Amino acid sequence: MNLWSQFLSYQDIHRPTQKMKYYFPVYERYFRDFIYKPVTILEIGCWKGGSMLLWKNYFGPQATIIGVDINPACKAYEEDQIHIRIGAQQDPQFLQSLLDEFGVPDIILDDGSHFQNHVIATFEYLYPRMNKNGIYMVEDMHAAYWQEFEGGYQLPTTFIEKAKKLVDELNADHTRGALPPSPFTRSTMGIHFYGSMVVFERCAPRLDFSMVMPAKAALLEDFVANLIQLDDQGNTSGIADMVRFETSPVFLLEAIEVLLAQTRTRPAYVIAAMLHNVGVERWLISFSLAVGSVLFQLHNKREQYVQQLTRLSSEASLQRRNELSQKYVIPVIAPLLEAAIATEDVGRVTQWFAVLKSCSPDLLAVPGPLPTVGVEAKIPFLADARSLLQRLRREA
């Protein structure tokens, strides 16, 4: 039976409970992982004790429920699993006594006085001291807009305004120094706003991004190293199997860049083919496909890949094309073209010229001297290759 059904079927005129009906989907969302486990729930505000029984029935026999109220009469609601303590929710000494007696709570529900200074004082003391994977829930936030509870629209002293500011604190790592990270930043996974309710999800201390990035770089380095080892073995199927388990297009695109910079065309092609199959279209992917279609003699694919690369190149600025040529094209094509010239393989030379032209459409657009785009200086035998092509064609 879910919590809503239990609430509807609950009948006790001596210990009623009063909850807004749209709270229940929120309860279910955050509490379901604690059911039938050793869990400590601290609810501030007992009223007539009905909610204590609701939590006891919902969480099961291993749950410890602690109710807090300033009304001494609430002590009568104690029973097996339910403990009632009398004290002021804003009193840090009283709150510490609860922690000393019961340990850190997994779930805290503030349904107490609703006075804004009380809600803030309770949160500031208990939130840093609760379970690192706990849930802190503040109910009846409509009181933050009502004057009788020290509230008011956009009044800076209300808990709802404090919660709004904590959104910035949660994202302090992204503010480029405008807001320094705090213990709250490091210990909070999320803040969720619902109608008249705010929920905080705690988490184990999380690293900042400057500490995470080296770990990502190491992961990429290991991935590329494994691909290169398989490439040295000529194990194309092994490369494909390894790539298949990686699902992040950004990570795989970064791997292509590293591989091309090291002139590792085979694994770069395998990654590019996988990304192309799932609809990712980038200049480097198209370049890898065009090179791979020649290396793997994929005659039925080569024209398609070259045309796609030509289209993407024409959309890029001349400066961008030059940057890509200097960084990736020249290191990859130079040794391949040199080998084709050495063997006088007119077919391969022609194909590499086609790839070169697709990378920079204006490269071979006019007869005579090649346009100056930085390529001729980096590949001194390029003019010889063109002369070889002309000679072989005349002899043919």
Enclosing H/E stretch for 197 = strand 197-202
In whole angstroms, give the CA distance from residue 298 to residue 289.
10
Q: Which of 32, 42, 28 is nearest to 127 (CA)?
A: 42
Enclosing H/E stretch for 338 = helix 330-342
In whole angstroms, give the CA distance from residue 262 to residue 255.
11
Q: Which residue has the tokens 């459409």?
A: 361
Residue 188 pairs in a beta bridge with: 202
Of 114, 118, 142, 276, which is the active-site residue? 114
Q: CB 254: neighbour CB atoms within 10 A?
A: 17
Is residue 169 classed as helix, strand or coil in its secondary structure? Answer: helix
Provide Rg for the chain, Cα atoms.
Answer: 33
Torsion of CA 235, 236, 240, 243, to 10 degrees: 70
Enclosing H/E stretch for 30 = helix 24-31
114 flagged as catalytic? yes
In whole angstroms, give the CA distance from residue 169 to residue 151.
23
Residues 6+ apart with CB under 8 A from 87: 68, 70, 94, 95, 97
Is residue 193 classed as helix, strand or coil in its secondary structure? Answer: strand
Q: Which residue has the tokens 């601290």?
A: 42
Characterize 366-380 residue by residue with b for buried, 16 or more Cβ atoms within 10 angstroms of its Cβ, and e for exposed. eeeebeebebeeebe
- Per-residue three-class SS string for 247-280: CCHHHHHHHHHHHHHCCCHHHHHHHHHHHHHCCC
Strands 82-86 and 64-69: parallel
Classify burial at 34, counting beta carbons within 10 Å of its beta carbon; exposed 0-12, middle 13-18, buried 19 or more: buried
Is residue 389 classed as helix, strand or coil in its secondary structure? Answer: helix
What are the residue numbers of the active site? 114
